[in-house]
A and B are shown apart, each in its own frame.
Chain A
Amino acid sequence: MTGRILIVEDDASLQEAYALILRASGFEVDVADNGLAALSYVRKYSPKLILLDIYMPIMGGIEFLRAYSSIRHGEVKVVVFSNLSDRNAGQELIDIGADKIILKSSMSPKDLVELADDLIGSSGE
């Protein structure tokens, strides 16, 4: 059994796409629409991987990371799905706890599965 993945993404179609791809590869996936919902989630559950969007209503990815740093525990990887305009914030994101920053539009379904496999173990296991 692989670890649980939390997808934090406000765009419903992307959220669904990521969830479909990862579930099809055997991952257990939960979703949150924004940073605040994600914070409630991580207070109850301990995902192995968080895929985090930056621009979201109510609470964005950066604000989530700041709030999350104080309650983060265990082996949790946070991958920020950034876009080009976040480029200057790259180092800041690493500083506040992002493990990896990935250009969202460059990632194919195959890449997404490989990424999850790399970080939390093969989906086939």
Chain B
Amino acid sequence: MKQITTNNELLSQQSIDLANAMPLLVWACDSEGYITFCNQKIVRYAQPFTHLRDALGHIHEDDVQTTRSIWRRARKERKPYALQHRLRMRDGTYRWHNSQGNPILDENGLVVKWYGTSVDIDETKKFEQEADRQSALRRLISQNATLGLIILDNHFYCTYINASAEKIIGYSAEEIYLMNKPLHEIIHYKKPDGSAHPNTHCSTKHSLTRWFERTEKDDLFVRPDGSFYPVSYIASPINEGGYVVGTLIELRDMTDARQAEIEKARLHLLDAERDDLLRLNKIKDEFIGLASHQLRTPATAVKQYVGMIIQGMAGDLADNQLRLLKTAYESNERQLELINGLLKTAQIDSSTYVLNRELCDITKIVKDAVEAIKPSCDYKKQVVVYRTSMPTIHAVVDPTEFKLVVSNLLENASKYSHEKTKISVVLKENRNSFTLRVKDRGIGIPEDARERIFDKFKRLENELSKTVSGTGLGLYWVKQICELHGGSVSVKSQTGRGTTFIVRLPK
């Protein structure tokens, strides 16, 4: 194609040669947009066109709209423009170009003509796009990695830190940059005992000077507030052309892991403690069992011998001799009661203790217990009233142990009530259980002591405790036996008004 020139536009041959020699598209048009010059490069791209608008046909359809509006604005404002768009090559492919146009104005500021150029920037553009993509990818990885990543230069200054590492160490990249100090002096400068932690001891230094990767599984970094937190990290030397130029640190916050470890260790310790306690408890039970057995035999022998003398088997005794021996006999009886109590407690506490359950008539067991307590109640002129909701109530219980429960409650009711009071025993059958209430009009139990009365060896101090005997084991047994049966015992009491024990056992 030949150069297009208007009559009044005389381009020197030198200018034309220069324009043709350029590796860019060069054009000129008049104020109306009619092409007055195109260089050879344009001709290689496109069919000749006479008006600038014809060029739109060579622009990628996605870029046409932008190009048109930029042109319009430039024409309207009579100002240079620049834009990037894709131009179609002869082979049909599009290449990115950086195009610009400059208006030439007359003395009145009116456009006389336009000069324009387009530079092929396709390679650069693709490189930029790739760089952007890489950069976005790096950002994505860096910001989303759970592993903290830090790069130190060979003076230990931080040159890169990802979001995760920022979060772990508690400083932002900007803060670190502003502090202008080796990272070691920011986050690793002291030990928990308060002494300084020289960087010569720091693993990052080792990786840098000794050329090998170093793993720290158990280190402590310092938070901005001065507190410590556990970390683990790998410091690897960054090798560039045979030189170590820095250190890459892969960092993990071990607070949670350490917490979990501590928790695990604590649970382990608790397990061990529990096993120890169980073992000790077993030893204790065995000891009490054995000791009680050993203690009981001589006490039983004393009972026999003193009993024989009291019964006159060794001849007649004077009254005062008999009185003294009877006191000794009673004292021995209390000793036996205590030893038996200890043995019973060891037995109930033992994990191997098993109830001998059978179907029983509960009303009869309670009646027997009531009958058994009557002599001592008569002695204190106390009245025991027994009522039952049904003539017979059948339940699967250990009869011996259940009787012990009833007897203990009745004994307590009698012991801790004054003379001439009433004790009522009420048995009630429910759908799947039965309830026994033993109510007295006794001295009552202070509120703050009500829970403790079921404790082992617990005897409350009160106006009657001095006058009645007891081992402090009865209510402990009651509670244990009720619970072994899958039931419960509770207490209601008013000081000075009386106490009601309520036993609920499943049928």
Contact = CB atoms under 8 A, between A and B. Distances in A.
Contacts of B298: 13
A70 interface: no
Nearest to B299: A105
A55 B301 contact: no
- Chain B CB within 10 Å — which of A18, A21, A91 has the most? A21
A83 B304 contact: no
A90 interface: yes
A84 B346 CA distance: 10
Chain A interface helix/strand/loop/mixed: helix
- Chain A CB within 10 Å — which of B307, B344, B347, B356 has the most? B307
A14 interface: yes
Nearest to A13: B301
A74 to B, nearest CB: 29
B344 A20 contact: no
Contacts of A11: 297, 301
Contacts of A85: 289, 292-293, 343, 346-347
B300 A14 contact: yes
A88 to B, nearest CB: 6
A18 B313 CA distance: 12
Nearest to A87: B347
Nearest to B289: A85
Interface size class of A (residues with CB under 8 A): 20 to 34
A20 B400 CA distance: 32
B464 interface: no
Given A84-B347, A88-B353, A105-B296, A20 B340 contact: no
A58 interface: no
B303 A108 contact: yes
B303 A83 contact: no
Given A55-B293, A87-B347, A105-B299, A14 B304 contact: yes
A14 to B, nearest CB: 5
Given A84-B344, A88-B353, A105-B340, A24 B308 contact: yes
A103 B340 CA distance: 10
B311 interface: yes
A57 to B, nearest CB: 13
B78 to A, nearest CB: 114
Contacts of A112: 304
B311 A84 contact: no
A98 B354 CA distance: 21
A108 B354 CA distance: 29
A91 B355 CA distance: 12
Given A85-B293, A105-B336, A17 B343 contact: no
Contacts of B300: 14, 104-105
Contacts of A87: 347, 356, 400
Contacts of B49: none
B297 A14 contact: yes
Contact of A88 (B304, B313, B354): B354
A106 B332 CA distance: 11
B343 A83 contact: yes
B340 A109 contact: no
Interface string B198-226: 00000000000000000000000000000
Contact of B304 (A17, A55, A91, A103): A17
Nearest to B306: A109
A31 B336 CA distance: 25
A108 B347 CA distance: 24
A43 interface: no
26 contacts: A11-B301, A13-B298, A13-B305, A14-B297, A14-B304, A17-B305, A17-B308, A18-B304, A21-B308, A21-B313, A24-B308, A83-B296, A83-B343, A84-B347, A85-B346, A85-B347, A88-B354, A88-B356, A90-B356, A91-B356, A103-B340, A105-B296, A105-B303, A109-B308, A110-B307, A110-B311
Interface of B: 289, 292-293, 296-301, 303-305, 307-308, 311, 313, 336, 339-340, 343-344, 346-347, 353-354, 356, 400
Q: Shortest 6 CB-CB distances between A and B: which pairs?
A: A17-B304, A109-B307, A13-B301, A84-B343, A105-B336, A105-B300
Interface of A: 11, 13-14, 17-18, 20-21, 24, 55, 83-85, 87-88, 90-91, 103-106, 108-110, 112
Given A84-B344, A104-B296, A108-B303, 10 more contacts: A13-B305, A14-B304, A17-B304, A85-B346, A103-B340, A104-B300, A105-B299, A105-B303, A105-B336, A109-B307
